[in-house]
């Protein structure tokens, strides 16, 4: 984007939901200078909670390859967060468990990080079903990106 389209490197943010939320975590935690801000929606934080066919096809199983799970789990890199982060999750999510978002928030608190926000949606599952939740989530993303990606920031 920077080379091909002349995008200002300091004005690029990242966001995604579900696996995209996981990727947002990994981008902000493993390349903390690359993006100006991020929003992780319904994000996986610890693959150890997901011992099923999807993860075992990629990472084997935790008992066979615990290092792969360790290496691939954002919870193990939270300390690297430098840029503002929005975390959004539904409490009724039965796909990516709400506890993953909570574990990251707890770790950020323990690390005395202040550059994050948690948006909780008590009535929503993985795919939000309440229009007001979608509206609130994207309003928060828009606010974050407008603030952090503004010219001259």
Domains, the chain, in order of start with CATH, read 2-148 (3.40.50.1820)
For residue 43, the model assigns a pLDDT of: 96
Q: Name the pLDDT band for 66 (thresholds 50, 70, 90).
A: low
Q: Which residue has 């999750």 as its token pair?
A: 89
Lowest mean pLDDT: which of 39-43, 118-122, 124-128?
124-128
Sequence-separated (6 or more) residues with CB below 8 Å from residue 71 = none
Lowest mean pLDDT: which of 71-75, 101-105, 108-112?
71-75
For residue 60, the model assigns a pLDDT of: 65
**What is the per-residue pLDDT across 29-54, written as a single tens digit (0 to 9) for each?**
999 999 999 999 999 998 777 766 66
Per the DSSP assignment, residues forming a β-bridge with 89 are: 120
Q: What is the mean pLDDT of residues 86-90?
A: 98
Beta carbons of 90 and 118 less than 8 angstroms apart: no
CA angle (108, 27, 76) in 5-degree steps = 45
Q: What is the mean pLDDT of residues 9-23?
A: 95
DSSP character at residue 80: G
Highest mean pLDDT among 69-73, 122-126, 136-140: 136-140
Q: Which helix (H) or strand (E) holds 3?
A: helix 2-5
**Annotated active-site positions, please?**
18, 93, 126
For residue 47, the model assigns a pLDDT of: 76
Average pLDDT, the chain: 91
Spatial separation of the C-alpha atoms in residues 101 and 56, rounded to whole Å: 22
Q: How far apart are the first and last CA of the chain?
A: 19
DSSP character at residue 79: G
E-assigned strand segments in 34-130: 38-41, 85-90, 116-121
Spatial separation of the C-alpha atoms in residues 24 and 40, rounded to whole Å: 6
Q: What is the mean pLDDT of residues 105-109?
A: 98
């Amino acid at each position: 984007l920077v080379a091909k389209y002349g995008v200002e490197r300091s004005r690029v943010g990242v966001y995604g939901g579900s696996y995209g939320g996981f990727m947002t975590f990994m981008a902000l935690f493993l390349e903390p200078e690359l993006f100006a801000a991020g929003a992780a929606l319904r994000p996986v934080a610890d693959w150890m909670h997901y011992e099923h066919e999807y993860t075992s096809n990629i990472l084997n199983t935790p008992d066979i390859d615990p290092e792969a799970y360790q290496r691939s789990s954002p919870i193990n890199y939270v300390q690297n967060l430098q840029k503002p982060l929005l975390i959004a999750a539904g409490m009724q999510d039965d796909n990516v468990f709400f506890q993953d978002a909570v574990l990251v928030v707890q770790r950020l608190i323990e690390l005395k990080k202040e550059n994050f926000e948690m948006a909780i949606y008590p009535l929503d599952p993985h795919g939000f079903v309440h229009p007001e939740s979608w509206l609130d989530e994207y309003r928060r993303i828009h606010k974050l990106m407008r603030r952090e990606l503004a010219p001259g920031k």
